[in-house]
Amino acid sequence: MPPPHPWTIKLTSFASQVRIEDSDNGRTLGELNFKANETLSIFKKGTQAVSAMPLLTKENKLNDRAQFLFTQIFERYAIEDPDDPTQKVLDYGATTAYVQGATGEKIVDKGVQHLMQFDSNSDGKLTLQDFLYFY
């Protein structure tokens, strides 16, 4: 039986009641200030794990579920476009926050620069379509 999907469990320090967030992925227990003899509690969240599936359809397009999930991720980090308040975009700062959240790393310049290459009109902002095209 495979281990539970990370989004279906939560980890909490018993002594300090510190919750380990999804964004802490990749950090060591030492970086999270846990002691050698500290107890961790693992709880099952009330969500269902999503089964593995291909990201792309036979037509080389994102499948509907992947597009929905990546859109939610985009909206979590996107800001209002200063040039068009009806649009949301990822500027350099929002893209940095996204890459930091996705990797758990503090220094993410290369990742941000790579993602910004998908800026279709070179205005320094990623639209939802740019973000989805990256995937």
Cα–Cα distance between 81 and 9 in angstroms, integer? Answer: 35
DSSP label at residue 79: E
Among 55, 77, 52, 76, residue whose Cα is nearest residue 133: 55
Name the helix (H) or strand (E) containing 57.
Answer: none
Cα–Cα distance between 135 and 115 in angstroms, integer? Answer: 10
Q: How far is CA 83 from CA 80, 96, 124, in A?
A: 9, 20, 12
Q: And the tokens for 21?
A: 């967030």
Look up the CATH architecture of domain 64-134.
Answer: Orthogonal Bundle (1.10)
- Looking at the DSSP bridge assignments, the partners of residue 43 are 10
Pinpoint the residues of the chain covered by CATH 1.10.238.10.
Answer: 64-134
Low-confidence ranges of the chain (pLDDT < 70): 1-20, 22-23, 25, 29, 36-38, 40-51
Q: How far does CA 76 lie from the centroid of its chain?
A: 9
DSSP H helical ranges for 4-108: 64-77, 92-103
The predicted pLDDT at position 49 comes to 52
Cα–Cα distance between 32 and 18 in angstroms, integer? Answer: 9
The predicted pLDDT at position 104 comes to 82
The predicted pLDDT at position 1 comes to 46
